[in-house]
Amino acid sequence: MSFFGKLFGGSKEKAAPTTGEAIQKLRETEDMLFKKQDFLEKKIQQEIVTAKANASKNKRAAIQALKRKKRYEKQLTQIDGTLTTIEMQREALEGANTNTAVLTTMANAAEAMKHAHKFMDVDQVHDMMDDIAEQQDLSNEISNAISNPVGFGDDMDEDELEKELEDLEQEDLENKLIEVPGAKDLPAVPEEPVAVKPKPQAKKAEDDDDMKELEAWAS
């Protein structure tokens, strides 16, 4: 409470405005000062026109116009400084407002996390995870046991199976050959190799006679 308030029994001081309210007031002040700037700039231009118009015919009026222009320029400079100060204050309040919102959100999140962990115990969680892993291993063992057949031909001879597979492939090849057009008219392949008959000796004897005749003629 101020000194005069205490002296005259005034009411209690009002609560401080929130950062949002203060930012809004600063923005309104900035808008008002921008309008004031526009007004002063127009007045300065008017005084310049007046000074030029009276420079030769009414020197006193021209000087008064220039004096007013100087006053307007001084006010304009003061407003520029005030706007700079207000802008810095507004940015600081906006930063504080942002920090307040962030801190409030973080505090709420921390409280929610604290409440969520209230009914949790780290040791209990570890025990639960161990139980889950144990049951998973047991489930895998059961699945492997069920998928492994018992007494269904585990002692079969692999060589015998390969021989049977070759017979099936040969049978399939023969069936495909039968399906080829004209394959039925081909002679059967003999099981035993065919003996090759010797060529007749008549041709050799004839060649010998020709050689003898050539030798007799040469002598």
Per-residue pLDDT of the chain (219 residues; tens, 9 = 90+): 555 555 555 556 677 888 888 899 999 999 999 999 999 999 999 999 999 999 888 999 999 999 999 999 999 999 999 999 999 999 999 998 888 889 999 999 999 888 888 877 788 888 888 889 999 998 988 888 887 766 555 556 778 878 888 888 888 888 877 776 655 555 555 555 555 555 555 555 666 666 666 566 555
* Torsion angle, alpha carbons of 66, 47, 76, 31, to 10: 170
Is 47 within 8 Å of 69 (Cβ atoms)? yes
Q: What pTM was estimated for this model as a whole?
A: 0.45
Question: What are the residues whose beta carbons fall under 8 Å from the beta carbon of 19, sequence distance 6 or more?
Answer: 93, 94, 96, 97, 100
pLDDT at 188: 56
When the candidates are 1.10.3720.10, 1.10.287.1770, 1.10.287.1060, 2.120.10.60, the CATH number that belongs to 15-119 is 1.10.287.1060
* Alpha-helical segments (H) within the chain: 3-7, 19-53, 59-116, 122-147, 158-179, 202-218
The Cα–Cα gap between 21 and 23 comes to 5
